[in-house]
Structure 1
Amino acid sequence: MRRHVLAITLAALSGCSVGPDFHTPDATLPEAWQSPPQPVSSVTVSHPIEKSWWTQFNDPQLTSLVERAASTNLDLALASSRFEQSRSLLQIAGADVLPDVSATGGYQRARNSEKGLMDSSGNNGTSDFSLWQYGLKANWEVDLWGRVRRSLEAANASVALSEAERNGVALSIAAETAADYLRLRGVQATLAVTRQNLDIAKQSQALTKTRFENGVTTNLDTANSAAQVATIEARLPLLEAEEARLINALSYLLGQEPHALGQELGQAKGLPKPPSAVPVGLPSELARRRPDIQKAEAALHQATAAVGVAQADFYPRVSLGGNFDFQALEGSNLGLWSARQFSMGPSLYLPIFQGGRLTGTLELRERQQQEAALNYRRTVLAAWHEVDDALTSYSAEQRHHAALEQAVSQNRIALETAQARYKEGAIDFINVLNVQRELIQTQSALVDSATRVSTDLVQVYKVLAGGWPQAPATQG
């Protein structure tokens, strides 16, 4: 018997794992990112991307919000919890590699039939008897074909998949927090510009009123100036509502109630400027950084291992089992060596007819593996497109912003000139009004463009998976 057990054990240790082995797929990416038209800020491809990219805006409040969100965001906490659950499932799957050992014990008060099988109590079924028993039982599946190993491999891939999902949520939360903060500062800057223009419009209104009272102009100018003031004032409630909405959005990202960050963020600050140089790294590094690519790779690994499990189900399963216990009719005899009993030996399970279940399962797992391989290719291609689009948008918005700066500068000169000519009576107020409207539009467009430059850069960092604050693990 010992020789048989040893032979089976050696076979298990040297046994092969059926099914395909997983190999990390090649990510089809360019050797270098295509350079967009030269922006105002240079894009340095050769340097590695900044992992703590949110600090590049040199805004301590932005840095604080992004890093606090990593600790308090509820979506990230849920993703971390799912990751910890996958690790627990891995531990459960790993238990199949080791023997299952359990202790048994029991007491029975029984009486056998006088007409049935032999009564082991010796009472011939004429009286009750007690049966005492305790011992150990063990069982271990000899993994000849790698079914258990493939199952453990799939569980490991599931952990990697859950970790990639958590990292993806962490990256998204960091990017969303930064983008909402930048939009908030942009709205506050627009509010400041609008209020400045409102002051200018009120000054024009006072001037036209004085000129009307002096009989220099007509009621048309006073009506136009009053309409301009009302039009500018009408923008303020919508901007203030957008400011409140963005503060609430940031409060939610940090896992807090509405208006929780009102006092902290309500005071307007300047819009943070992006860095002068933005390292974007090399395309070959993208597959190692992007959580969605890592997730697709882990899903492919999991599906590949599942094919091996399905193939192993066609082969026999050999298990080694045994038990050693004590049994006695009197409790006082349980400790005697003569009360011992044991059994040990291998057992065999051989599938013969399953009604097509095993074949169908294998075909399903193979098709799921094909789907996972296609999804990996799709994910890599989508990532390539996202990076190219983000770099193009960032470059274009920088050039757009530079042109708007020139437009605002010239519109300011035009307004000053028009106001002076109006005071001299050289032009009508309608000319002043048109120039002021043009200035308001270009100033608002300039602030919006500055906001988009910064949020486009956040998108660049997001699609390049620059990094994210370390999220704390779920505590058990």
Structure 2
Amino acid sequence: MNDLLNPRSVRSGMPRRLKLAAASLLLGSLGACVVGPDFVRPEVKAPDSWATHQHAETASHPVDHSIEPQWWTLFGDSQLTELEQRAVASNLDIRIAATRLQESRWQRRIIGSAELPSIGANANYQRSGASNNGLMSLLGVTPGASASEMANGTGYGNNGIQGADASAPFNLYQYGFDASWELDLWGRTRRSVEAANALTESAAEIRHGVILAVLTETAADYVQLRATQATLATVKETLELARHSLDLTHKRQAEGVATRLEVSEAAAQVDAIDARLPPLEAQESQLINALSLLVATQPGTLASELQTAKPVPPVPAEVPIGLPSELARRRPDIRQAEAQLHAATANIGVAKADFYPNVTLSGSFGMQSLSFATLGTWASRQFAIGPTLSLPMFEGGRLTGVLRLRETRQQEAALQYQKTVLNAWHEIDDAMIAYDAQQRRRTSMGRALAHNQAAYDAAVSRYKAGATTFLDVLVVQQALLDTQTEWVRSNAEVSFTVIRLFKALGGGWDQVAALPSHTTAGS
């Protein structure tokens, strides 16, 4: 007993106690278990081959070669390639998604901090004085010795504490360290970290999906711009032909061959065709603005670069679409749904761990003295160490409700994963069908265009020869313009379907996501 009161004995015993405490923590951590189900990656039953729906007469067809990561280069348009590079480097949606990914990573770090002890330091100084008529009077304290005399033991009366002056002010100095550590005996913290990791993966896949969306939207807007410019050129050419027909009708009227009705019909045709130009010109400007927004610039910034018309980017003869078994590892939405399922599964373990006892080990060590001069001496030491055990006894069904909620959310996440995979197959199949159908439609429209052109040339020749009325020329001219417009639209739709096919296949984000311009914001 005397050895325990010996300062030297206490001093030598402190490290031993700390070692025992550390050993207890280590053994507790090593022996801890993890409750709740472990996540198992769902299997995706992929078909052996794609249902391509291709006919023999189509010029372009899919092949099961590896997907070109930068699939937009297959169109062979250098301006499109440059726009894609600028979009992935500057697009604000991509940068926002990268910022949200960074937020998720910091959230993961916050949750992961619970795996480590919490250590803090404190220091304070107080000058205090108690009331003679306050709580101290209950102990029979009467005015007399000062607080410093009471501290050194000379101010006590015969009854032990009489004679002290409770109102005398005194100084109190103290500083020290405190630590606490919640032992993760049942894996609650580890399951929380597991769920946070999965949510970080989900945020990463959201970013990948945004990258893919920006890539496809840039390509689609560019194709639409070139199609609009091609339609504008067609309408302007037809307008010149209509004006030429109007001049011809005026001459024939002056010669007494054509009637005033034919002149009015020719003039109406000119105005009707001219009325098609303003909407197309507005659409051209709006598409340039849309592309400017995608590359994060002011409206009209790209006008000087894009107002010069170019052909609609043609599709390649072969479109590499990869293998069906690669789809689940490539589409960001499937990967995101898997990460959400993983997080939901881990959260079940968090809810189950709440049913078990919670053990927190805490300790503190510091110095306290009424005199600053003795604050650093060993006699001023004070410490406390010990575990705290808490066990839920009655929560009114809250813990059970939370567990059932987490289990239901996991079921929902599993169903959402199945739906996402099934939706992916449907999108690809629909894109394949449209890819073939639009090519066949373009072929038919090309033949119709050739027939309408021949009919128009014949009608004009017959009108000049006086063998037919001008009404026949107007009918054929209108049909020719409609066919030309539809052919341009059909040609653009072929390119659109290839863009949609690559989006459905989930290609293009992986190499872009690794570019330095993105890792800076998202790492």
Settle same-fold status: TM greater than 0.5: yes
Question: Match of 1:40, SS?
Answer: coil
Partner of 1:148: 189
Deviation of the 1:5 alpha carbon: 5.5
Bigger shift: residues 135-144 or 427-436: 427-436
CA distance in 2 between partners of 1:185 and 1:213 (Å): 42
Question: Match of 1:137, SS?
Answer: strand
Partner of 2:34: 17
Report 1 or 2 for greater relative contact order, CA contacts < 8 Å, sequence distance ≥ 6: 1
1:63 aligns with 2:81: yes
Q: How does 1:75-474 map to 2 (within 5 A)?
A: 75-113=93-131, 114-115=136-137, 122=151, 125-468=166-509, 469-470=512-513, 472=518, 473-474=520-521
1:285-310 deviations in Å (ceiling 9; x for gaps): 11111111111111111111110000
Stretches of structure 1 lacking an aligned partner (at least 5 in a row): none
The answer on whether the counterparts of 1:101 and 1:139 sit within 8 Å (CA) in structure 2 is: yes
RMSD: 1.9
1:361-388 deviations in Å (ceiling 9; x for gaps): 1111111111111111111111111110
Whichever residue aligns with residue 181 of structure 1, its letter is Y
Count of matched residue pairs: 476
Deviation of the 1:3 alpha carbon: 4.9
CA distance in 1 between partners of 2:223 and 2:165 (Å): 90
Q: Larger radius of gyration, structure 1 or 2?
A: 2
Deviation of the 1:220 alpha carbon: 2.3
Deviation of the 1:342 alpha carbon: 1.5
Whichever residue aligns with residue 281 of structure 2, its letter is E
Bigger shift: residues 25-34 or 155-164: 25-34
Identity among equivalent pairs (%): 48
CA distance in 2 between partners of 1:231 and 1:394 (Å): 34
Whichever residue aligns with residue 213 of structure 1, its letter is A
CA distance in 2 between partners of 1:68 and 1:338 (Å): 70
CA distance in 2 between partners of 1:57 and 1:373 (Å): 38
Deviation of the 1:4 alpha carbon: 6.6
The answer on whether the counterparts of 1:323 and 1:343 sit within 8 Å (CA) in structure 2 is: yes
Bigger shift: residues 64-73 or 3-12: 3-12
The answer on whether the counterparts of 2:438 and 2:493 sit within 8 Å (CA) in structure 1 is: yes
1:45/1:334 CA distance change after superposition, 3 Å: farther
1:338/1:41 CA distance change after superposition, 3 Å: farther
Deviation of the 1:439 alpha carbon: 1.1
CA distance in 2 between partners of 1:216 and 1:307 (Å): 90
Match of 1:46 among 47, 55, 64: 64
Question: Match of 1:353, SS?
Answer: coil
Deviation of the 1:448 alpha carbon: 0.5
State the TM-score, normalized to the length of structure 1. Answer: 0.96
Question: Match of 1:474, SS?
Answer: helix
Bigger shift: residues 310-319 or 63-72: 63-72
CA distance in 1 between partners of 2:415 and 2:405 (Å): 15
CA distance in 1 between partners of 2:78 and 2:168 (Å): 87
The answer on whether the counterparts of 2:60 and 2:316 sit within 8 Å (CA) in structure 1 is: no
Whichever residue aligns with residue 418 of structure 1, its letter is A
